[in-house]
Amino acid sequence: MKVNVLVAEIGSTTTVVNAFNGIGTPCPEFIGQGQAPTSVLEGDVTVGLKGAIDSLKENLHESEITWDDMLATSSAAGGLKMTVHGLVYDMTVRAAKEAALGAGGIIKMVTSGKLRRTDLKKIQEVNPNIILVAGGVDYGERDTALNNMEMILSMGLKTPIIYAGNIENQEEIKLMCDEAGVKVYIVENVYPKIDMLVVEPTRKVIQDAFEEHIIHAPGMTKVRDLVKGPIIPTPGAVMEAAKVLKEDIGDLVIFDVGGATTDVHSATQGSEEVNSILISPEPEAKRTVEGDLGVYVNVNHVVEKIGLENLKKEFPDVDELLQNFKPIPLSDREKQFVERLTKEAVVTSLERHAGRLRDLYGANGKKTVAQGKDLTAIKYIIGTGGALTRLPNRVEILEKIRSLGKGLELYPTERAKILIDNDYIFSSLGVLSKRYPEDALLLMKKSLRIL
């Protein structure tokens, strides 16, 4: 059987392959999926990749499969580990974090101001895939970024570095890295002026750097033998899908509840009313990652958030449920329990992602301002990830979001519609959109059942 495009999602534990036909026609189709354990520990992820393709053959009842193109997302070998170093935490550091998270980075360390020797020790322990250095508005403070770059280079690491700070430092930064034999990507300042964020150029370079260097990660050395197209970080792929979809259907927020984390991706400029009182800039496309809100690996954190005694009122058998907890719930009772955990993960991740109105008091009396991401103009609330695509009451969980606001929170309103990534393919479609944007959009709308 001939397949137009295969998209591989190479995870830390499982590799999934999704097959698509009709690419380049008015009717692209998702035709099937296969999966197998990821083989990072064997030193060659192509073993797991070939296993997933064999699984796909079996599911499609085909003895052989060939394809025109293969693309991939990856969170294998620990994903895209990054450290971020800026000048002022609420300004350049925050801007750099927004860029890194939106690209799919897993931020292991953040510093503001000049690096100390203890910081260098921690960078070595993290052993990041990419180091992001920012600092200073254009034609503003220069010394902190130069000092930090010098200290980072003194460690002798060969980790690629992205510089996204004061434009005046660019030539000197390049010279320093060239002399040290370290690959450096010079990109537009993430915070060029006070109250201005420019994160998209840095996001693109992070993904380019990831694709260039991921093949050197443990177990990834042979991946290019099979994957000829783009390879991007798995979390960043969902953000790519969000941006493509937003341009077609309007402002949206995507909740991705997984076993280890809950990611929230929003694509909206917010309302004019809130923008007029916003005290610090927000990116149009924003991603937050809640590493304590997974419904399998981090189930104990979610239980703690709800409160064990509170859970016992709803689930008197909670101790038994936790003792026999499985990654995929089978019985109706297990599904009801995971739905309760998922609801908590969604509500808490929304609280952390969205902004709110605040009252400030000064010489002229009270003034209302907005701080954080404004979701009031959201038209669609979308669920993806295992929990929000497979649980029976997934729609009801997301409907809860529309009635949570008490007046001060910048939450989606009752007007927002609920949609589900029914085929559970948004991550694959995010990477597909890098090469086939029109096909990816049509497939997203089919998965959401709006086409």
In percent, the amount of the chain with pLDDT more than 70 equals 96
pLDDT confidence bin for 197, thresholds 50/70/90: confident
Share of the chain above pLDDT 90, in %: 63
- Start-to-end Cα distance in the chain: 27
pLDDT of residue 325: 87
Q: pLDDT category, 166, cuts 50, 70, 90?
A: very high
Mean pLDDT of all residues belonging to the chain? 90
Q: Which residue has the tokens 């393709």?
A: 53
Tell me the mean pLDDT in the region 180-205. Answer: 91
pLDDT(167) > 90? yes
- Please give the full DSSP string across 156-197, using - where no structure is assigned: T----EEE-S-GGGHHHHHHHHHHHT--EEE---SS-STT--
Q: Residue 215: what pLDDT?
A: 67
pLDDT exceeds 80 at position 11: no
Number of Cβ atoms within 10 Å of the Cβ of 21: 18
Q: What phi and psi, each to the nearest 5 degrees, are found at residue 392?
A: -60, -40
* pLDDT tens digits for range 272-289: 999 999 888 888 999 998
Q: Per-residue pLDDT averaged across 416-444, rounded? A: 95
Per-residue pLDDT tens over the stretch 348-398:
999 999 999 998 887 778 889 998 999 999 999 999 988 999 999 999 999
Mean pLDDT of the region 152-162 = 93
Low-confidence winner among 103-107, 129-133, 251-255 (lowest mean pLDDT): 103-107
Confidence of residue 147 (pLDDT cuts 50, 70, 90): very high
Q: What pLDDT does residue 290 have?
A: 86
Question: What's the confidence (pLDDT) of residue 43?
Answer: 67
Cα distances (angstroms) measured from residue 286 to each of 65, 177, 254, 360: 38, 30, 10, 26
Encode pLDDT of 35-75 as tens digits.
Answer: 888 766 666 788 888 999 999 999 999 999 999 999 998 87
| Predicted local confidence at residue 36, as pLDDT | 87
